[in-house]
Chains A and B, each alone.
Chain A
């Protein structure tokens, strides 16, 4: 009865034992806009990567039936040939090339084999720009000079030139402002009239309910349900419940701490973008942490949590930073990382391999790197190497780093043990305030539990802990109090009693909606 352009049935995808997709069924009707909703890590992007052939046939279970045929894509080129085009969150445009060059990147108009026909390229580029409503743009302008919104539309133009039938957009509006988002959504509706089917992955439920015909929610790698606009009204609360409604089991060790006075407080904190100093990244942030308290920061990706942490930690992010940091009742000024270390503030960064560790060096070397000046040398000159070994051994035992020796190169450790080395590195700097950014990302459940136990013992020692995480259950399980950050603003503060995922998601959605109306 339905004309389905795509049916994905019983899709299973595993990553070294971890089931990212567990029997997912996903059906898209021809000519609709279908929204795919779910939390961070629910499996939305994985599903789209399976569809587009990034994970080739054979690495997943189940079938992809596209235009009534079973498809076995080996790479993204094959799916593109059939008219499936995916536009990722990070745009695949080359800023230094012109609009026309970008539109035909990898799909050039050639004569004789390899000679580019510039006349046809420019003519066709102008045509496709007209189709997406950008007819006044010069096809020879550099893509880097366009705003993000227009860049996103150039990606769509690029897809149109590949004769797209099924367009997949991964968080298309996450980097756009209200006006740009509107333009993009209008374009999607326009393309629908031209007969193009779209799948839109989005967190922004107001946008989803505005443009989409059907909505599928997935959670923990499973399809929860598909809501059909034709049959029933679209209820945002229902979608939220679908996205987050999982049971919390006892994954989190209990903690008994007397919370003390406020030791760390940030007031009226404003930060502008590093690359683009006109764009405000964080707007008037206020928060505080008590002694022995674990305070969480929840928010969607790109909400500005890491930026907030790094701007506080020695101004390692941002420009035109203003505001106050108060520690133990006195205002402190932190100009650089060494200053932060001296003031006993520590930041455990989110990507341990890129920001936390020197992978080619050994455990003791990495552990002492942040405290060489203050602890492992006389006046910052000669290193006390024996002390390093003793301290590293002590911490390996204390937080159970599984290694045969402190001379082991950290690149050879498992993710969980690497994370413990980074934690030890910052525990060695004797901080009063620890900011942990995604402390359990990419590590297994057992190691997670150990990290949680370390966090608990830090709180018990009277440290103030700030925890940033994209895993909502983790925040709910570990934190005494939560701040919800959205688009660079504190959208709400949630005490322990009121913590539940739906509530937090609602705060975010209300904030998004509120911002929209305020702008209008």
Chain B
């Protein structure tokens, strides 16, 4: 009896499953499509100023710190919480890096490492109150937002510290090794182009590998045409960027940092036990605890990690600005939180992806960049960004309610 019904089931399973996967994929790519559409609209409005090589380069460099922060913030948001202190921690750690290098003439690599360690310590400090005393992360991080903004003013004496040496600013504003060639009156940077090709090949190989593995265990693979279209779009996006970089100054140094972080954190969240535990804590804390997950410890590491990433963002910001200022990083926490929610993270926790948060950050960045190019005032920009956040979450909530009924 079981055999027959099981066979029958499998037929149903595949049809239903495919349908569901299509819907899910659409949702997953919905944000990326939105990003491309927004970019297209601004390209059209600004006479394609925003697709100019220099602007594409700026887009990455200007948004690098928010992207770094939103990766860390995603983990907080997955548990249904936020970290309000990151903007202040960015300013504080950036200021400490500047002071170490300029006032104490500490070697740059050591200063960078020490700054990162301080970030970890700040994270531990926050994690202590959150995990061991059980204070709400909202309160702890709100308090530390004030504390570290104040400390930044204290250590900088309320003044800007700069300029930073060129070897340091390279972290935020420099490029990977460059090889320029001239072809038909156009100057191209060869390594960026090559990187584009190499990454494209790697993406194809990975996809093929995953299909092969699935086939080997006997699982359903998506139709080949879906895979081809998906790969085509991804490769177009990659090469669009690498071509633009190649036409300008080559691959920005921060791009490498960003890509590295995205890969690492995407892997952690989707494929490791600690990553799974974060989702479990956000999805149902009580059930997670009764499944053997040490929920306090998970919270502790999330906030420690946030401290580390905030320090990294602080270093990048100070490097890009070539100076540390008391007002640095103002409102960054809001940008990072908004990026997560625009990117599809559930406010209650338990749902969200690294890719989503990064795309969310890019949507904010493209909006900022486009509106600046059009000469819209900062006030209007804020209004629009606020409305976009509201709209993104409203659509998400609306779709969920519809699904329920």
Interface residues of A (CB under 8 A from B): 313-314, 316, 336-338, 340-341, 347, 349, 354-361, 365, 369-370, 372-373, 377, 380-383, 385-386, 389-390, 397, 404-405, 407, 425
Rounded to whole angstroms, the CA-CA distance of A354 and B288 in the bound complex is 10
Evaluate contact between B12 and A404: CB separation under 8 angstroms.
yes
Evaluate contact between A390 and B217: CB separation under 8 angstroms.
yes
- Given A358-B350, A369-B276, A404-B12, 5 more contacts at CB 8 Å? A356-B287, A369-B280, A377-B272, A383-B273, A386-B213
The A contact surface, by secondary structure, is mixed
Shortest B17–chain A CB gap in Å is 5
Which residue from B214, B271, B288, B291 sits with its C-beta under 8 Å from A382? B271
Q: Which residues of B contact A360 (CB under 8 A)?
A: 283, 346, 350-351
Rounded to whole angstroms, the CA-CA distance of A140 and B107 in the bound complex is 66
Chain B, residues 326-370, CB within 8 Å of chain A (1/0): the string is: 000000000000000000001000110000000000000000000
Shortest B4–chain A CB gap in Å is 13
Q: A358-B350, A359-B283, A386-B213 are in contact. Are A349 and B290 (CB under 8 A)?
A: yes
Give residues of chain B (263-295) contacting chain A, Cβ–Cβ below 8 Å: 271-274, 276-277, 279-280, 283-284, 286-294
Shortest A383–chain B CB gap in Å is 6
Evaluate contact between B289 and A316: CB separation under 8 angstroms.
yes
Evaluate contact between B20 and A372: CB separation under 8 angstroms.
no
Evaluate contact between B16 and A405: CB separation under 8 angstroms.
yes
Q: Which 7 A-B pairs have the closest CB atoms?
A: A358-B283, A338-B292, A337-B292, A370-B291, A358-B284, A369-B291, A404-B16
Q: Which residues of A contact B292 (CB under 8 A)?
A: 314, 336-338, 340-341, 370, 373
Rounded to whole angstroms, the CA-CA distance of A336 and B295 in the bound complex is 12
Give residues of chain B (184-236) contacting chain A, Cβ–Cβ below 8 Å: 213-214, 217, 219
Chain B, residues 284-327, CB within 8 Å of chain A (1/0): the string is: 10111111111000000000000000000000000000000000
Evaluate contact between A347 and B284: CB separation under 8 angstroms.
no
Q: Which residues of B contact A341 (CB under 8 A)?
A: 292
Evaluate contact between B350 and A361: CB separation under 8 angstroms.
yes
Evaluate contact between A356 and B290: CB separation under 8 angstroms.
yes
Q: A361-B283, A385-B271, A386-B219 are in contact. Are A337 and B13 (CB under 8 A)?
A: no
Q: A358-B280, A360-B283, A405-B16 are in contact. Are A381 and B289 (CB under 8 A)?
A: no
Evaluate contact between B13 and A405: CB separation under 8 angstroms.
yes
B214 (CB) vs chain A CBs: closest residue: A386
Evaluate contact between B290 and A316: CB separation under 8 angstroms.
yes
A369 (CB) vs chain B CBs: closest residue: B291
Interface core residue of A337, A358, A370, A386 (most chain B CB under 10 Å) = A358
Evaluate contact between B273 and A377: CB separation under 8 angstroms.
yes
Q: Which residues of A contact B346 (CB under 8 A)?
A: 360
B285 (CB) vs chain A CBs: closest residue: A358
Which residue from B20, B214, B279, B293 sits with its C-beta under 8 Å from A407? B20
Q: Which residues of B contact A314 (CB under 8 A)?
A: 292
Evaluate contact between B12 and A361: CB separation under 8 angstroms.
no
Evaluate contact between B272 and A383: CB separation under 8 angstroms.
yes
Rounded to whole angstroms, the CA-CA distance of A359 and B277 in the bound complex is 15
Chain B, residues 28-53, CB within 8 Å of chain A (1/0): the string is: 00000000000000000000000000
Q: Which residues of B contact A313 (CB under 8 A)?
A: 290
B6 (CB) vs chain A CBs: closest residue: A397
Q: Which residues of B contact A389 (CB under 8 A)?
A: 217, 219
Evaluate contact between A405 and B350: CB separation under 8 angstroms.
no
Evaluate contact between A404 and B219: CB separation under 8 angstroms.
no
Q: Which residues of A contact B401 (CB under 8 A)?
A: none
Evaluate contact between B272 and A381: CB separation under 8 angstroms.
yes
Which residue from B6, B213, B287 sits with its C-beta under 8 Å from A355? B287
Interface residues of B (CB under 8 A from A): 2, 6, 9, 12-13, 16-17, 20, 213-214, 217, 219, 271-274, 276-277, 279-280, 283-284, 286-294, 346, 350-351
Q: A404-B13, A405-B13 are in contact. Are A357 and B271 (CB under 8 A)?
A: no
Q: Which residues of A contact B284 (CB under 8 A)?
A: 354, 357-359
Q: Which residues of B contact A382 (CB under 8 A)?
A: 271-273
Q: Which residues of A contact B17 (CB under 8 A)?
A: 404-405, 407
Which residue from A347, A385, A390, A397 sits with its C-beta under 8 Å from B290? A347
Q: A361-B283, A382-B271, A397-B6 are in contact. Are A372 and B12 (CB under 8 A)?
A: no
Q: Which residues of A contact B291 (CB under 8 A)?
A: 337, 369-370, 425
Rounded to whole angstroms, the CA-CA distance of A216 and B219 in the bound complex is 61
Evaluate contact between B290 and A337: CB separation under 8 angstroms.
yes
Rounded to whole angstroms, the CA-CA distance of A397 and B292 in the bound complex is 26
Shortest B345–chain A CB gap in Å is 13
A398 (CB) vs chain B CBs: closest residue: B2
Interface core residue of B272, B289, B291, B351 (most chain A CB under 10 Å) = B291
Evaluate contact between B273 and A372: CB separation under 8 angstroms.
yes
Rounded to whole angstroms, the CA-CA distance of A345 and B6 in the bound complex is 32
A366 (CB) vs chain B CBs: closest residue: B287
Shortest B187–chain A CB gap in Å is 44
Which residue from B6, B271, B273, B350 sits with its C-beta under 8 Å from A380? B273
Q: Which residues of A contact B289 (CB under 8 A)?
A: 316, 337
Evaluate contact between A358 and B288: CB separation under 8 angstroms.
yes
Q: Which residues of A contact B16 (CB under 8 A)?
A: 404-405
Rounded to whole angstroms, the CA-CA distance of A379 and B349 in the bound complex is 27
Rounded to whole angstroms, the CA-CA distance of A293 and B14 in the bound complex is 41
Shortest A412–chain B CB gap in Å is 10
Shortest B277–chain A CB gap in Å is 8
Evaluate contact between B271 and A372: CB separation under 8 angstroms.
no
A359 (CB) vs chain B CBs: closest residue: B284
Rounded to whole angstroms, the CA-CA distance of A102 and B217 in the bound complex is 64
Q: Which residues of B contact A377 (CB under 8 A)?
A: 272-273
Rounded to whole angstroms, the CA-CA distance of A247 and B286 in the bound complex is 39
Shortest A47–chain B CB gap in Å is 32
Rounded to whole angstroms, the CA-CA distance of A377 and B290 in the bound complex is 19
Q: Which residues of B contact A336 (CB under 8 A)?
A: 292, 294
Q: Which residues of A contact B276 (CB under 8 A)?
A: 365, 369, 372, 383
Evaluate contact between A354 and B271: CB separation under 8 angstroms.
no
Interface core residue of B2, B272, B284 (most chain A CB under 10 Å) = B284
Shortest B214–chain A CB gap in Å is 8
Evaluate contact between A354 and B287: CB separation under 8 angstroms.
yes
Q: Which residues of B contact A383 (CB under 8 A)?
A: 271-273, 276
A384 (CB) vs chain B CBs: closest residue: B271
Rounded to whole angstroms, the CA-CA distance of A397 and B6 in the bound complex is 8
Evaluate contact between A386 and B217: CB separation under 8 angstroms.
yes
Rounded to whole angstroms, the CA-CA distance of A405 and B10 in the bound complex is 9
A354 (CB) vs chain B CBs: closest residue: B286
Rounded to whole angstroms, the CA-CA distance of A386 and B277 in the bound complex is 18
Rounded to whole angstroms, the CA-CA distance of A269 and B273 in the bound complex is 34
Q: Which residues of A contact B280 (CB under 8 A)?
A: 358, 361, 369
Shortest A322–chain B CB gap in Å is 22
Shortest A11–chain B CB gap in Å is 32
Rounded to whole angstroms, the CA-CA distance of A383 and B291 in the bound complex is 16
Rounded to whole angstroms, the CA-CA distance of A372 and B271 in the bound complex is 11
Rounded to whole angstroms, the CA-CA distance of A404 and B274 in the bound complex is 29
Shortest A184–chain B CB gap in Å is 33
Rounded to whole angstroms, the CA-CA distance of A369 and B279 in the bound complex is 11
- List 19 A–B pairs whose Cβ atoms lie within 8 Å, in order of A's numbering: A336-B294, A337-B293, A341-B292, A354-B287, A355-B287, A358-B279, A358-B288, A359-B284, A361-B279, A361-B280, A365-B276, A372-B273, A372-B276, A372-B277, A377-B272, A381-B272, A386-B219, A405-B20, A407-B17
Which residue from A358, A372, A380, A407 sits with its C-beta under 8 Å from B287? A358
Rounded to whole angstroms, the CA-CA distance of A127 and B8 in the bound complex is 73
Q: Which residues of B contact A369 (CB under 8 A)?
A: 276, 280, 287-288, 291, 293
B217 (CB) vs chain A CBs: closest residue: A386
Q: Which residues of B contact A407 (CB under 8 A)?
A: 17, 20
Shortest A377–chain B CB gap in Å is 5
